[in-house]
Structure 1
């Protein structure tokens, strides 16, 4: 079942749209603010996002969600009709609908986005690893066994896959995985990289998947 994250602070609208989506066969998680939204990124197939929210606005939340998962489609659903708002929304979101709207149009746009992004799903091959990019499941093709990652190992590898071929600094990795600023000399990241290498590298002492970029950070190349 397709799972939609719907972020809307207006109770009447949120309740109505949520129920109509459920009636159409979708699973819906409705939040009334952007707080905690990033925790749902890996659990949902699409986000419907209002602009006017308490705390951080929808533009800020949407940009955070896209940074967390580029492959997660975001549909802006807002009463703000000014062209500059639409332009800002579409700078990161994948569609923008203004209120009032017709439910059939919303459903149609949801289906278009889902089809578009499902086509983008692919299996990556990196050395001896076969990776499903939707759920970041990993198979060792040498043994035909699935590699189980836990906790921070999973989020680290997910970050590398979503920024494939890019050099990621220690600070970038630390902020995305731990949500904090990296402090020079902290060994936490290095330790988790070592544990991750022990699971995915043929020879962890001579890694070829997670490259160390001396003085900067790390990179995974396809």
Structure 2
């Protein structure tokens, strides 16, 4: 699971962002200042920093994080919209998002940064499968047999893995894999998920990897 270190002193915003990210499947450590970052930094896959903080501001904390570990992506959040502030932020940070923002935009930017810094593990254990995420190879642990995924099965499974632990709606899956707007009643997605389950599940009638979230969509747990 991706671990996000989030520093925000405004409790209403901090609580809202933490709730949104947790519901999307991320593990979030929320701090109200940068005093205790050393305790959490080693476990963090990504840092989100507000600019205006008590004590050290977000710019100073971000520069310190990058100095200690340049491989941790840093995303700055700020109500400051002046070009000078953005330029200063982007002189060391990897992205800069101005308030107010939609949670979906924040998640999209997080995903882009994680892909850029390759923070997802190369090897992932999913129930009876060992998954090599770089080339999306799935191997059955007991038999050692490699499971061949073709066409849309491959891209569909890849989309699930990129959004591990997140509940994905039919609309999100269809638009993410087919690049088109989902039309209610279209059975294409359901058929491809059935074919994918037949290949990766031990018992496709009782799937353990691709969960059906009734009334919403699907989820793959890590």
Q: TM-score, normalised by structure 1?
A: 0.53
Residues 114, 120 of structure 2: 8 Å contact kept: no
User: Residue 132 of structure 1 corresponds to which residue in structure 2?
Assistant: none
Q: Is the 8 A contact 2:2 2:120 kept in 1?
A: no
Q: Hey, what's the Cα distance between the residues in 2 that align with 1:119 and 1:29?
A: 17
CA change 1:11–1:96 in 2 (3 A) is same
Cα pair 2:3 2:27 within 8 Å, conserved: yes
Deviations 1:151-176 (A, max 9, x none): xxxxxxxxxxxxxxxxxxxxxxxxxx
Q: Match for residue 10 of structure 1?
A: 10
Determine if contact 1:9/1:31 at 8 Å carries over to the other structure: yes
Using the TM superposition, give the Cα deviation of residue 121 of structure 1 relative to its aligned residue in structure 2, in angstroms.
9.2
Distance 1:38 1:69 in 2: 11
Residue 65 (structure 1) aligns with: 65
2:96 matches 1:85:
no
CA distance in structure 2 between the partners assigned to 1:14 and 1:120 by the alignment: 25
Q: 1: CA distance between counterparts of 2:20 and 2:121? A: 28
The answer to whether the 8 Å contact 2:6/2:31 transfers is: yes
> Once the two structures are superposed, what CA deviation does each residue of 1:42-80 show, in whole Å capped at 9, x if it has no partner?
101000000000001000010001111000000001111
RMSD over equivalenced CA pairs, Å: 1.7
Whole-angstrom distance in 1 between the partners of 2:36 and 2:25: 25
1:38 positional shift = 2.8
CA distance in 1, matches of 2:2, 2:42: 13
Distance 1:96 1:9 in 2: 18
TM-score between both structures, scaled by the size of structure 2: 0.53
Deviations 1:89-136 (CA, angstroms, capped at 9, x unpaired): 0011000000000111100000000000017999xxxxxxxxxxxxxx
* Aligned equivalent of 1:26: 26
**Structure 1 unaligned regions, length at least 5:** 123-222
Residue matched to 1:219: none
Structure 1: distance between partners of 2:78 and 2:20 = 17
The alpha-carbon distance between structure 1 residues 91 and 120, as it changes in their structure 2 partners (threshold 3 A), is: farther
Once residues 119 and 17 of structure 2 are traced to their aligned partners in structure 1, the CA distance between those partners, rounded to angstroms, is: 27
SS in 2 for 1:93: coil
Cα pair 1:38 1:65 within 8 Å, conserved = no
How far off is 1:37 after superposition? 1.1
1:157-196 to 2 correspondence within 5 Å? none
User: What is aligned with 1:180?
Assistant: none
Structure 2 unaligned spans of 5+: 123-222
Does structure 2 conserve the Cα–Cα contact (< 8 Å) formed by 1:41 and 1:68? no
Which residue in the other structure is 2:39 paired with? 39
Structure 1 runs (4+) deviating above 6 angstroms are 119-122
